[in-house]
Amino acid sequence: MKIVGLETIIFGVDDVAACSTFLTDYGLIPVGVTEAGGRFEALDGTAVELAHTDDDSLPASIGNGCMMRKTVMGVADESTIEAIRVELSKDRDVRQLADGSIESTDDSGFVIGFQVTTRREVNLPGEISNVPGSPFQRPVNQLAVNAQAEQIRPRTLSHIVYFVPDPVKAEAFYVERLGFRCTDRFEGVGPFLQPAGTLDHHTHFLIGAPPFMTGVEHFTFHFSGPTEVMQNGSRFIEKGYQAFWGPGRHLFGSNWFWYFNSPFGCHIEMDADMDLHDKNWVARAAEPGADTSQAFLLRYRNKWAPGKDTTANGDYE
């Protein structure tokens, strides 16, 4: 099944205005946003959608304070939609929606949707480094950093992380029913999962947790490179938002990361430069821990210049 990846994540929230400001400050582009909610898009059109928690159009909450109501995945074509409909109809309700998409639930109770992807092609260069010995370099006189750059925009919706009560059962659903495969695994925690229509290391990560924790740990968008993550993350902190973890670089997936607290009852991440894997990749397994979850971890500090201030730099903790 050619599932391309995440298309839209839908939330029901109490404070639409605060959540709208948060997503706009993060870098997403408001589309059709009103006091009742709306859509916040990355450059390719993948998005977060907001509505008030009492909006009757929203799927029911999974409970546990989880504000995420639905995860919509984009697929390559109508034949994939039909294949998913036929497969899931074997043992659960599958609803055909007015927009042509279908909606059902996974084995953990999360509402999931599928639509033919409408993501736009993004033809913008990513971050390029000047590396001695490499034939591919940043062009002469092209600057690597623009401190005066306007709002930095995420490129595309990257991945989501679920807390699930039974990670073995949850993994079996995505692998056996929807054609995902495990690319790496934290032993005793859960798998990183990649759908068949992308080479990204993962679009889903499943973390085993008690039933009362079932929900979302974080979601994230891809940025063009580590400089955008660092620059956008620094600006985010300067706007008053609180960092949770990072910046740093993961080992599984190799993506740069910076996590922040959010008003969605979960964390939000900025990431960049994720590994790509094809069918020749052999999944790794590791015990979870500090040494396996990141190659290194950095700390945000206030800007400083020699000779200007002899006091210690401040940080966000």
Q: Tell me, what's the pLDDT at 317?
A: 46
3-118+153-297, CATH topology level: 2,3-Dihydroxybiphenyl 1,2-Dioxygenase; domain 1 (3.10.180)
pLDDT tens track for 83-131: 999 999 999 999 999 999 999 999 999 999 999 999 999 999 899 999 9
**Alpha-carbon distance 258 to 221, whole Å?**
11
**What is the sign of the dihedral through the CA atoms of 156, 260, 208 and 106?**
negative
Confidence of residue 1 (pLDDT cuts 50, 70, 90): confident
The mean pLDDT value for 200-215 works out to 97
Helix (H, G, I), strand (E, B) or coil at 212: helix
Contacts of 310 (CB under 8 A, 6+ apart): none
pLDDT tens track for 39-75: 999 999 999 999 999 999 999 999 999 999 999 999 9
Q: Could you tell me if 126 and 225 are in contact, meaning their C-beta atoms sit under 8 angstroms apart?
A: yes
Directed axis angle between helix 16-26 and helix 226-238, to 10°?
140
**Alpha-carbon distance 10 to 312, whole Å?**
42
Q: Could you tell me if 179 and 280 are in contact, meaning their C-beta atoms sit under 8 angstroms apart?
A: no
pTM of the model: 0.94
pLDDT at 314 over 90: no
Give residue 31's identity as a one-letter amino acid code. V
Start-to-end C-alpha separation, the chain? 45
pLDDT tens track for 126-182: 999 999 999 989 899 988 898 888 899 999 999 999 999 999 999 999 999 999 999
> By C-alpha distance, which of 157, 203, 128 is closest to 43?
157
